[in-house]
Structure 1
């Protein structure tokens, strides 16, 4: 994500945080059972506060990033879907569509083109390996009458995310990957 983000003209552009959040959504999806458990828990909490008849979309808006990260695991979408979604995201923020109210473009098109050409082939490298769990259950929390597991993920750790950087620095020669 950080490598693709270097194709943005500036990190202070108004659309940058939206772009980064959507990029994360292009790569990851929540485990449905974890998400539904948290959603039901939040509905129960809101009902105890006298707030009833909210749609699922309304309840989702009340979930914090912290709650999602603590109680829900994520998985990668797979190479074809991730590639398609990232390509569509970059296209949707390119040109006039990616300008803020002052007319500053989010994406530097020529730089992003070369970055995407280099990074597209690495999408397979960021996919979760089948049968390998990246989450550890660290406990549980009872919310809204539902026992929610607490998870800790190894994804995002320096050692895991910097693998390609280390390869480039420590293995001499030209890489074809």
Structure 2
């Protein structure tokens, strides 16, 4: 479900940049000198993102491509439960 959500929605870039800068300043105040972009991103949690950033719907073509990729990912061996039963019925590919 998380991958489908990520296929459809994205965080507003301007909101995300402001939040990252605020988190960077917070890390600097906590005596972490010159935090890298990955240091900042790792320390952002979902609650902060949802509290401070708007979510936007992606472009229709991007959504279609990303959902197709998720379906293909879970259509193979990754798409089976612990007993080997496919999560998606074969008819899903007929659409």
TM more than 0.5:
yes
TM-score (ref. length: structure 2):
0.82
> Unaligned stretches of 5+ in structure 1?
1-19, 118-177
Contact residue 11 and residue 56 of structure 2 kept, 8 A: yes
1:68 lines up with 2:68 in the alignment: no
The structural deviation recorded for 1:96 is: 1.1
1:65 deviates by: 1.0
Q: Which runs of 5+ in 2 are unaligned?
A: none
User: Which has a greater percent of helix?
Assistant: 2
Distance 1:23 1:45 in 2: 32
The number of residues matched between the two structures is 95
Greater share of strand: 1
Report the CA distance between 1:99 and its aligned residue. 4.4
- Could you state the TM-score of these two structures normalised by the residue count of structure 1? 0.47
Runs (4+) of structure 1 moved beyond 2 Å? 52-55, 97-100, 102-105
Q: Which residue of 2 aligns with 1:58?
A: 39
Residue 111 of structure 1 deviates from its aligned partner by 6.0
Larger radius of gyration: 1
Kindly indicate whether structure 1 or structure 2 has the higher relative contact order, using CA contacts under 8 Å at least 6 residues apart.
Answer: 2
